[in-house]
Amino acid sequence: MPEPQPENVPGEGHQLPEPSGIFVERPESVTATKGKDVTFVVKVDSSSLTRKPTLKWLKGKWLDLASKAGKHVQFKEVYDKNTKIYTYEMSIIKVVDGDAGSYRCEVTTKDKCDTCAFEVSVQAVQEEQQDNIFESFKRSGDGGEDAGDLDFSGLLKKREKKKKVVEEVDVDVWDILKAAKPCDYEKIAFEYGITDLRGMLKMLKKMKKVEPKTSDAFLKKLEPAYSVDKGKKIHLTVELADPNAPIKWLKNGQEIKPSAKYMFESVGNKRTLTINKFNLSDDAAYECVVGEEKCFTEVFIKEPPVTITKMLEDVQSVVGEKVEFEVEVSEEGASVKWMKDGVELNKETAGSKYRFKKDGTRHILIINEATKEDIGMYHAFTNGGESKAELQVEDKELEILQSMADLTVKAAEQAMFKCEVSDEKVTGKWFKDGVEVQPGDRIKITHIGRTHKLMIDDVTPSDAGDYSFVPDGYAISLSAKLNFLEIKIEYVPKEDPPKIHLDTSSIGNTNTITVVAGNKLCLDVEITGEPAPTVCWMKGDKVVSEAEGRVRVESTNTSSSLVIEEAVKDDEGSYTIIVTNSVGEDKVELMVKIVDVPNPPENVICTSVGEDSGTITWDPPAFDGGVPIKGYLIERKKVSAARWTKLNFDVHESTTYEAKRMIEGVLYEMRVFSVNGIGISQPSATSKPFMPIAPTSQPTRLKVDDVTDTTCALQWHPPEKIGAGGMDGYIIEYCKEGSDQWVQVNKEPMEMNQYRVKDLPVGEKMLFRVVAVNIAGRSPPATLSQAVTIRDVVENPKIHMPRHLRTKLIKLVGEKVNLVIPFQGKPRPVVTWSKDGVLLEDNTVGTRTSDVDTILFIRSAERAHSGKYTLSVQIENMSASADVHIQVVEKPGPPVAVHVAEVWGFNAVLEWKPPKDDGNCEIIGYTIQKADMKTKDWFTVLEHNRRPSCTVPDLVMGNEYLFRVFSENICGLSVEPGISTNTAIVNKEGLSRNRPPFKETDVNHSPKFTAPLMDRCVVAGYAAAISCSVRGNPKPKIIWMKNNMVIGEDPKFLMQNNQGVLTLNIRRPSTFDGGKYSCRAINDLGEDKVECKLEVRVVQEKGVEAKK
């Protein structure tokens, strides 16, 4: 079945200029076989084009297939230099059903364009039985004959699926709604996809109350309501009593104009409105208007049922965790109803317990903190499906992260029991030998996060026993035993010199400790000596304090620790630990080195660009973090984008990087990170924006236009490819044949496509070349294939006389004369002008001569300038000449000796002589006028009379006439006429007239309206007026009425009567002012009346219309 042609929608699609016919070959519509390849070919003739044409392949109205280029859609372009024909090919590899449709190719140049359309339809593959069973043993993959695994699917028998024929039943929703109970309306609307419930109830109310009325204009009216599927087409049809009656279609009170969306059809007495591609904005009230009668209907959109594409999944969670149920539906913005155990969940009833989230087609039900009460079955309903899932919530188990340990302590020492559980919120109680422990001065109980502590100061023998911690709400217990150790010490004084025991196995022999900036350094040093030595830490000459601080010393009887919190660069240096007692002293020096991530690189700049690449350089960071730099990471982004893209994942060791695969003509920015053994630095400052651009292609069609003894004129065409960098101009260079020393002619690039190179050596053979220049640099040069010999070429003189100067040139006195006459000849010819055979020396006539033309100009022409002008062009003994005839004219003088020669009957004969001054051109006629001596008013009798005499007819008896004559040439009539020296008298010959007696006319009559009132439709809030006109004598009395009620002195109305023109002005009318207005005119002889209808329309705002 052929695919229907796409409709031409006015205002849609790309409006192209009138096609210019530059296609040599156009693509043809084809029927492709599914799975096969198909190729379309277009050929374009570029011989008449100034630039390379641009061709686009489009599918549908606006889909550019260049964005789909790849394995499936491939493009090819070939240029034939001999025929100057571009061949474009588009291939669709392995056609699928989605490739069917309308296609279009557009070719455009600077001032021309053309387009052609074609269709692609796809047919299924015809199945053929396999004669050779070995062909069924194929292998998967594209590697070749032996690649992949064996695929035996070709041996399987294909079963024809029996298609179930489902008869579509045309269901009338309104019949179902009429028979249903009001409580079921919402359920029916949800089932049949009706979204406007308020409009549905309003329509049902109208359908139940309004009874059909008989109509004079309609034989068949619209149904009260229609429903249509979304995206489908609907026809609204009425039948008229009068097939010729005009009709209007309205939508929500606004008239509908025919378009691709709304189509009008008239067949006999049937009128049909077709609405294509029905959508939600078309859900409205429609009416058909014939004269004063209307019929109404409402059309409701019936959206397709929303199905569930991803079902709910069962969830198993623990108390306190967040639970999410997710479902996906087939339509965005669809309504999904959530229920739990048959009870609907919504925002009003759920409170803060549940949250509902929509993300496109995904609908999510979120339970913030699950409890045992949330266990149950959850349902998600749409008008086209449902899904359910079960939620199981279990108690959260408490984990013991750190158990308690037995303690053995001495008298007066501190005992601390410590344990850690998995939940921070869990509280508990401490027990000793089964008795709860209460906090006091010596006993302290703390709960910080997940850690619980019991601390006993100054332990005594009574504190010994079994201690346990029991978490509240859990049937577990943590126990430990406190043992009291009583030690009897017999003091024997002992002396031992102090000694620092420093473990240097991990730091080498240099006593250097390396710390990463921001980390904590805790250097523990074991100390021995008796009596207990005194410890002093020093950094340089300063003593490190033991007070609380970022850098501090923590000491015990047997050790001393240097603690540096969040190490910084200033902490680096030499540290000395000195221990002393009464026996002696020991000292050790340590070096602390702070390392960090490096500083970012500096001075990131773009040094060069290409068509799709850019090269950047940078300086190494000023600070390497104390560790050698391993390399750099580079990122780039478009100036208009916000996301950075990494260019390398392995560190780049050099400080120069070339970024590729960029888009020409787009601004980019780049930044660099330094990398050392510690980590990655902050990003460097962003480079200045740069644009990948490439030089243009070489100029085309370079040729020599002219050669003299010292100059050479060159011409060329612009490059075929200019690119995003544009073009700044051209540079012209030359050199002698056999040399490679090119000399640049112009310092700055020039924009013109032609140039004359001057001051060249006579007789030398020169080579010329032209390069195009833009921001990216110089293009490849366009060079002449052969050298040019610099010498004068002798060319015979020749004058090219313009066509309008080949005949006599006529000008009016005072006009400008400007003659431009081109000529040719080499070397430059000698040009002379002469008038009537005499060399031109008149100061009022100027001449100006160039290499290729000469100009003769007269600022204000006079009659003396008339004559034959001869142009002579001479080169040595060769010459050429041409003549130009100029005639300067003006209006003629008046005729002379005008007189009446004879009067006979009602005619008079005039005679005169031609004017003395004919204006320097031929007299082409005369214009004769007459005047009655009583009125002195002149009337034209004859025009363009060519003879110097005429007969004036139809004179009135008893009158005396005076005559005047104007002469006429190509400039017009003479300024002054020639007036007759005598007059013509037409005598009466005894005629008399009997006048009838005078009868007075009765002018009284009854009123009569000469212009009626007209029906009007006005906009509310704007002043309006209705008018008519009346005649009557005596002057009639005027009465204005509205709906047969006299208006009277209402200030809203202003009544005016101007010479019988009656006007009623209405100030700021409202809908209340609409109705039937009439005007009555009354006098003693009778009365007359006219009527009209006034409709006041309220204009709604755009926002209100959009909501409807």
Beta-bridge partners for 338: 345, 380
Give the tens place of pLDDT for each residue, 280-310: 788 888 999 998 888 889 888 776 778 888 8
Give the tens place of pLDDT for each residue, 19-70: 456 888 888 888 888 888 999 999 988 888 877 888 888 887 667 788 777 7
Write down the pLDDT at residue 1. Answer: 37
Percent of the chain with pLDDT over 70: 89
Residues 6+ apart with CB under 8 A from 957: 906, 986, 987, 988, 989, 991
* Average pLDDT, rounded, for the chain: 83
Write down the pLDDT at residue 15. Answer: 38
The tokens 């755009």 sit on which residue?
A: 1102
Write down the pLDDT at residue 686. Answer: 93
Query: What is the mean predicted confidence (pLDDT) over 134-143?
Result: 45
Question: Is residue 311's pLDDT more than 80?
Answer: yes
CA atoms of 826 and 848, how far apart (whole Å): 19
Query: Poorest-confidence range of 182-186, 279-283, 579-583, 613-617?
Result: 182-186
Query: What is the mean predicted confidence (pLDDT) over 627-650?
Result: 91
Q: pLDDT band for position 140 (50/70/90)?
A: very low
Beta-bridge partners for 858: 817, 845
Query: Poorest-confidence range of 12-21, 695-704, 874-883?
Result: 12-21
Q: Which helix (H) or strand (E) segment is 328 a member of?
A: strand 323-329
Q: Which amino acid is at 125?
A: V
Residues 6+ apart with CB under 8 A from 21: 114
Residues 6+ apart with CB under 8 A from 241: 215, 216, 217, 218, 219, 269
Cα angle value 916/920/921 (rounded, 5°): 100
Query: What is the mean predicted confidence (pLDDT) over 200-206?
Result: 72
Q: Which amino acid is at 230?
A: K
- Beta strands 782-783 and 788-789 are unpaired
Asked whether 637 and 643 are in contact (CB, 8 A), the reply is: yes
Query: Poorest-confidence range of 231-245, 393-407, 720-734, 871-885?
Result: 393-407
Asked whether 528 and 498 are in contact (CB, 8 A), the reply is: yes
- Is the pTM higher than 0.85? The answer reads no
Cα angle value 451/454/457 (rounded, 5°): 140
Distances, alpha carbon 50 to alpha carbons 44, 105, 223, in Å:
13, 21, 63
Alpha-helical runs (H) found in 889-1003: none
User: What one-character-per-residue DSSP string does 279-296 give?
Assistant: -GGG-EEEEEEETTEEEE
User: What's the token pair of residue 45?
Assistant: 């003739």
Question: Is residue 1106's pLDDT more than 70?
Answer: no
What's the DSSP call for residue 781?
P
Query: What is the mean predicted confidence (pLDDT) over 110-120?
Result: 82
Query: Poorest-confidence range of 850-859, 1044-1053, 1057-1066, 1094-1103?
Result: 1094-1103
Phi, psi (rounded to 5 degrees) for 723? 85, 180
CA atoms of 1018 and 1070, how far apart (whole Å): 9
Question: Is residue 1077's pLDDT more than 90?
Answer: yes
Write down the pLDDT at residue 369. Answer: 82
Query: What is the mean predicted confidence (pLDDT) over 513-531?
Result: 84
Question: Is residue 143's pLDDT more than 70?
Answer: no
What's the DSSP call for residue 241?
S
**Residue 526 vs residue 198, higher pLDDT:** 526
Cα angle value 1065/1068/1069 (rounded, 5°): 80
Query: What is the mean predicted confidence (pLDDT) over 365-378?
Result: 86
Query: What is the mean predicted confidence (pLDDT) over 247-257?
Result: 90
Question: Is residue 475's pLDDT more than 60?
Answer: yes
Q: pLDDT band for position 360 (50/70/90)?
A: confident
User: What's the token pair of residue 765?
Assistant: 């053979």
Query: Poorest-confidence range of 120-134, 468-482, 646-660, 909-923?
Result: 120-134
Give the tens place of pLDDT for each residue, 901-921: 999 888 999 999 999 999 889
User: What's the token pair of residue 111?
Assistant: 């001032």
Write down the pLDDT at residue 160. Answer: 43
Write down the pLDDT at residue 61. Answer: 63
Helix (H, G, I), strand (E, B) or coil at 572: coil
CA atoms of 179 and 183, how far apart (whole Å): 12
Give the tens place of pLDDT for each residue, 659-687: 988 888 889 999 999 999 888 999 999 99
Walk across the sheet containing 949-952 and list its strands.
896-904, 907-913, 949-952
**Residue 14 vs residue 732, higher pLDDT:** 732
Write down the pLDDT at residue 214. Answer: 62
How crowded is the C-beta side of 312, counted as CA atoms within 13 Å? 25
E runs forming strands in 403-511: 407-410, 415-421, 428-432, 435-436, 443-448, 451-456, 465-471, 478-485, 496-501
Helix (H, G, I), strand (E, B) or coil at 187: helix
Question: Is residue 781's pLDDT more than 70?
Answer: yes
The tokens 């007969």 sit on which residue?
A: 951
Asked whether 856 and 833 are in contact (CB, 8 A), the reply is: yes
- Closest C-alpha to 225, from 294, 290, 305, 284: 284
Write down the pLDDT at residue 237. Answer: 92
User: What's the token pair of residue 639?
Assistant: 């100036």
Percent of the chain with pLDDT over 90: 29
Distances, alpha carbon 76 to alpha carbons 35, 87, 89, 697, in Å:
21, 8, 5, 20
**Residue 296 vs residue 350, higher pLDDT:** 296
Write down the pLDDT at residue 1107. Answer: 47
Distances, alpha carbon 297 to alpha carbons 238, 286, 884, 892, in Å:
11, 5, 82, 80
Beta-bridge partners for 481: 466
Asked whether 539 and 549 are in contact (CB, 8 A), the reply is: no
